[in-house]
Structure 1
Amino acid sequence: MEAAELAGRLLRDGRPEGLGVAATKSSPVDVVTEMDLAAEKLITEYLLDLRPYDGFLGEEGGASAEGRSGVRWVIDPLDGTVNYLYGLPSWAVSIGVEMYGERVAGVVEVPMRGETYFARSGHGAFVTGGQYGDKQVRLRCRDAAPLAESLVATGFNYVADVRAHQAEVARELIPQVRDIRRGGSAAIDLCDVAAGRLDAYFERGLHPWDLCAGEVIAREAGALVGGRPGREADGELTIAAPAGVFEPLQALLEELGAWHD
């Protein structure tokens, strides 16, 4: 939580007017800013000082290390990079923790909301700040609604051909749900499921750093989190929703081929 807060403050207060692009990701639409790299450096140095034997996996590559403690920190220093680049508020710092390969804890810092979401396995999910004030409020996902009355969030890939298929899936899905939202940050979408602001969320193409922290938070708030039938959430498909929404949504996404390009 301390590392996420420091990185969030750096990104919020240090955002320059004209952002320089340090590198490109999978296409010219998706950029990695200098601030993204600076935030990852801050997080990893902070954690390494306290946990020198742990492993690290960071989106920008600078944090990748095996470690020898059985603990690995999975870091997305700036989830919602394009939102950040354009001055939109929906971006976050996401830090998840794996223990012997199992996702066990996470924090998602959302600086422009002033909110911090956090959870650890078996101990519940909580939020503090923003509309919640100084209190630590326990999170609980919404009670299940019929799929036709469910507000569902998703995301789209930055590669045009992949995005085209995802748009076709969304076109087929829209008449069968209340509506669809696209926020631009997987970590925030998972937290919004946990907080009851969304009924469900799904996306294809997530990486471990996109979902590690948010998965623990959503799960500890009572949501089911998984992928294709019988599988965990992974790069093919991630779904988060309360029981009763999860199952019909998973079945529909399987039918629509949401798990492939």
Structure 2
Amino acid sequence: MDLEYARTIAVEAAESAGALLLEGTRGALGVRAKGDAGDVVTDLDLASEKLLLERILTAFPSHSVIAEESGLVGEAGGQWTWLVDPLDGTNNVAIGLPTYVVGVALLRDGLPVLGVVHDPVSSQTWSAVRGRGAVCSSGVRLTPSYAPSPHGPLLAWTQGYDVTRADPGVRALKSALELRARRVLQLWAPLLAWAMLARGDIDGFVGYRAGVVDLPAGALLAQEAGIEIRALDGGPFEERIGGPAEVRSFVAGHPRAIPELLALLR
């Protein structure tokens, strides 16, 4: 498997989907409810996903894909599985907020080996191949620096769609972060938060029972840029996709910032 070729296909597909989204957000949106948790889906989600599926499966017809709206396409349990988030930030788009990205990841036996995040608004794309670093559109490697603030860290937060307001874990975590961090961003587009962390725009990222589809691409991008990811108790982060939602809770930041970030959560 040529991962550089796979990266080329993924980047081209994500950027084509991004162009479709950018044009589509200039017109009327078909928005409807999705599930019982207040989430929504738009016609743009579906159009972007269709494009991504066609591009990926044309290049790799024997692979399977797990897409945000379509679910599993192909056989489960294969060696190579793509994860597709055609519009990460749908709720933002639905209210006219231009904060959204496209995400694509490739897993080998459940382990992320390729991640691509494309921002149509800024025309920027970030990608990473396991063991080869993370780069932006121009080919420059992402290497975030460590610059602690006396006022506390600037963090991003995400949680899974199945997390309710009554969940005691999420309430305790968000309360601790609001009290101790300088700012806590809730972007409704976690892949964008991962890109910001990989670039060094924010100091840390905390997730609680994060979604399966929009986690691997961003997490690999950040790790390959030099970001460290831990479980909320400070233990190892489970990189392979699978298992209960609890293993998709994390704290991420520059390795020198991790002790401070973990202390915020205690």
TM-score by shorter chain over 0.5: yes
Structure 1 consecutive aligned stretches of length 4 or more whose deviation exceeds 6 Å: none
What does residue 90 of structure 1 align with? 99
Q: How many Å apart are 1:175 and its aligned residue?
A: 3.3
Alignment length (residue pairs): 247
**Aligned pair partner of 1:202 in 191, 206, 219:** 206
1:14 partner amino acid: G
What does residue 124 of structure 1 align with? 133
1:4 and 2:14 matched: yes
1:151 and 2:160 matched: no
Give the secondary structure class of the aligned counterpart of 1:208: coil
1:240 and 2:244 matched: no
Q: How does 1:175-194 map to 2 (within 5 A)?
A: 175-194=179-198
Give the secondary structure class of the aligned counterpart of 2:165: helix
Structure 2: how far apart are the matches of 1:86 and 1:212? 27
Change (3 A) 1:26 1:220: farther
C-alpha contact (below 8 Å) 2:180/2:264 kept by paired residues: no
What does residue 4 of structure 2 align with? none
Provide structure 1 residue ranges, at least 5 long, that are not aligned to the other structure.
Answer: 129-134, 256-261
C-alpha contact (below 8 Å) 2:160/2:211 kept by paired residues: no
Provide structure 2 residue ranges, at least 5 long, that are not aligned to the other structure.
Answer: 1-10
Give the secondary structure class of the aligned counterpart of 2:125: strand
Change (3 A) 1:162 1:42: farther
1:11 partner amino acid: L
Structure 2: how far apart are the matches of 1:98 and 1:51? 13
What does residue 86 of structure 2 align with? 77
**Aligned pair partner of 1:55 in 64, 78, 91:** 64
1:108 and 2:117 matched: yes
Spell out, residue by residue over 1:169-196, the C-alpha distance to the aligned partner (whole angstroms, 9 max, x if none): 3332233222222222110101100000
What does residue 132 of structure 1 align with? none
Change (3 A) 1:74 1:162: farther
**Aligned pair partner of 2:144 in 141, 144, 147:** 141
TM-score (norm 2): 0.83
Change (3 A) 1:16 1:65: farther
1:31 and 2:40 matched: yes
| Identical-residue share of aligned pairs (%) | 33
TM-score (norm 1): 0.85
Change (3 A) 1:106 1:147: farther
**Aligned pair partner of 1:13 in 17, 23, 30:** 23
Structure 2: how far apart are the matches of 1:154 and 1:67? 31
Structure 2: how far apart are the matches of 1:198 and 1:247? 16
What does residue 230 of structure 1 align with? 235
1:218 and 2:222 matched: yes
Structure 2: how far apart are the matches of 1:244 and 1:148? 17
C-alpha contact (below 8 Å) 1:92/1:187 kept by paired residues: yes
Give the RMSD, CA atoms, in angstroms: 2.5
Structure 2: how far apart are the matches of 1:59 and 1:147? 40
Q: How many Å apart are 1:101 and its aligned residue?
A: 1.3
Structure 1: how far apart are the matches of 2:112 and 2:258? 20
Change (3 A) 1:64 1:227: farther
1:154 partner amino acid: W
Change (3 A) 1:19 1:74: same
Bigger shift: residues 14-23 or 87-96: 14-23
1:250 and 2:262 matched: yes
